[in-house]
Structure 1
Amino acid sequence: MARNMTLLWGSGSPPCWRVMIALEEKKLQGYNSKLLSFDKEEHKSQEVFSINPRGQVPSFKHGDIIVNESYATCFYLESQFKSQGTKLIPESTEELNYFLKSAVFVCVCMNKILIFLFCPAAVIFYEYYVPEGERLDSALKRHKDALTSELKLWEEYLHNLGSGSNLAGKSFTLADVVIFPTVATLFRFGLSEKRYPKLAEYYALLRERPSIKASWPPHWLENTKGQDTLKDV
């Protein structure tokens, strides 16, 4: 079933990782998987452009169907394979209520989720992307302050859910598929577990999940030591 699927991806990319988690959860192992090097700019190759005109990953193809946005790909996999693997959108009234609440928090409020997804990258890669002569301490501080504000909201949200909870309650859902790679990236780059204990608890809860372990970024496995970019956030 998965043999007519192709995924072009990069190691450590949260958008790529969430698609890989969704594929694992839907029992769609065996797809055509090609790891591309960002350092070599392989994501700008003709192979990628033939699927994704933006030259970005993840680039996903199922038969003649192409879906290149990670959120859309995850929803596509769930809608096409509802009865297979994990039900990522719960059906029971109680669990669906939790899911919808988290979906509002995670997906509908796009301004907030974009802050949550963008701010870590803005802080982590500021020195990488901004030429030395153009860097401003005030800009980096602004990015860090925005990230800190957003992290506090997530701490409160997880605190209200209670210990041992996924984002939508007891069930693992698309909300977790979407958010976990970003949470993992935060801790990879030195986010303080003591300062954000609820996020740390959520991270520890999910990092042992089979789908997440199976799709763990290869270069993270090769080099288990992360960085300290976010230690002061």
Structure 2
Amino acid sequence: MAENMFLYWGSGSVPCWKAMIALEEKGFSGYKNKLISFDNNEMKGEDVLKLNPRGEVPTFTDGDVVVNESSAICEYLESTYKDKGTQLIPSSTKQRALVLQRMNEAVANLMHKMLLDYIYEFMETKEEDMNPDTVARKTQNLKDELNRWNDYLGKTGAYLAGPDFTMADVYFFPFIGFGVRVGLNLDSFPAMKSYYERLSSRSSIKASWPPHWKESPGSFKPLIGKM
């Protein structure tokens, strides 16, 4: 089945990493793929645009089925290949409800409070142009958000939604991995630190780890490291 799949992806992209973890968890190691260069704007190339008019990655095909958007790819893989690899959405109604909540909670909150409102904004703003009050407010917002997730992990134990690895972890881990890459110090979030260290050695995560991260240390250390 993996031989019929193709993924366009970019190294270090949280959405791409999410889709790649799901592919590994469902047992599709060896799927065909193309690593695109963000620096060269390759996501706007003809091969991607003919499948994804937005010119974004991840872009995924499974035979003649085209699936764009990382969450759609993850949910497609689980629903289409439910009996393959890891069951990422539990069959128990109560457990499934919690997994679905955590999945959507991660996207809705961490995408904005960590990536858009914090890391990306400060990456693109010179330090002398930063408003101290704005920095303090956004830092506190992010710290409050991370404390919430740390509390979740403290209550559930091994994984985000209980004793088993689920789609909630597929969605959540890339945000934390990216945060650590750019300077997030997890010492203030002990449950999250333990979670990060443990999952970093999980086979699906190791196999999909952004390759350029293996070759070079993080080059940007934002204010997030000062929490």
TM-score (norm 1): 0.87
Q: Answer whether contact 1:119 1:144 (CA < 8 A) is retained.
A: no
Q: Which runs of 5+ in 2 are unaligned?
A: none
How far residue 30 of structure 1 moved from its aligned partner, in angstroms, is 2.2
Shift in Å at residue 131 of structure 1?
A: 7.7
What's the counterpart of residue 22 of structure 1? 22
Match of 1:161 in 2: 156
User: What amino acid maps onto 1:170 in structure 2?
Assistant: P
Q: 1:105 aligns with which of 102, 106, 109?
A: 102
In structure 2, do the counterparts of structure 1 residues 226 and 167 end up closer, same or farther at CA, with 3 Å as the change threshold? farther
CA–CA separation in structure 2 for the residues paired with 1:47 and 1:213: 28
User: Is 1:177 aligned with 2:174?
Assistant: no
The match for 2:54 is: 54
Structural mapping, 1:20-99, within 5 Å = 20-91=20-91, 93=92, 97-99=94-96
C-alpha change, 1:226 and 1:88, in structure 2 (3 Å) is farther
Tell me which amino acid in the other structure corresponds to 2:113: C
Q: Trace 1:180-195 onto structure 2 (pairs within 5 A).
A: 180-195=173-188
Query: Which one is further off, 56-65 or 143-152?
Result: 143-152
Determine the C-alpha separation between the residues in 2 that align with 1:34 and 1:125. Answer: 25
| 2-structure distance, mates of 1:205, 1:158 | 12
Q: Distance in 2 between matches of 1:117 and 1:125?
A: 10
Return the alpha-carbon distance in structure 2 between the equivalents of residues 105 and 175 of structure 1: 6
Per-residue CA shift, 1:91-113, capped at 9, x if unaligned?
A: 3x4xx533422422332x4xx74
Which SS does the other structure have where 2:191 is aligned? helix
Q: Separation in 1 of the partners of 2:34 and 2:161?
A: 32
| Structure 1 gaps, min length 5 | none
**2:152 aligned with 1:152, yes or no?**
no
Deviation at 1:138, TM superposition (A): 3.9
1:117 and 2:111 aligned: yes
Question: Which secondary structure does the structure 2 equivalent of 1:40 belong to?
Answer: coil
Aligned pairs, number: 225
Counterpart CA distance in 1 for 2:182 and 2:198 is 19
Of 119-128 and 42-51, deviating more is: 119-128
Q: Is the 8 A contact 1:2 1:31 kept in 2?
A: yes
Percent of aligned pairs sharing the same letter: 42
Q: Normalising by the residue count of structure 2, what TM-score does the alignment of the two structures yield? A: 0.90
Pick closer, same or farther for the CA change 1:136–1:41 going to 2, 3 Å. Answer: farther
Which SS does the other structure have where 2:188 is aligned? coil
2:58–2:69 contact (8 Å) kept in structure 1? yes
Helix, strand or coil: the match of 1:114?
A: helix
In the alignment, structure 1 residue 143 sits paired with structure 2 residue 138: yes
Amino acid aligned to 1:89: I
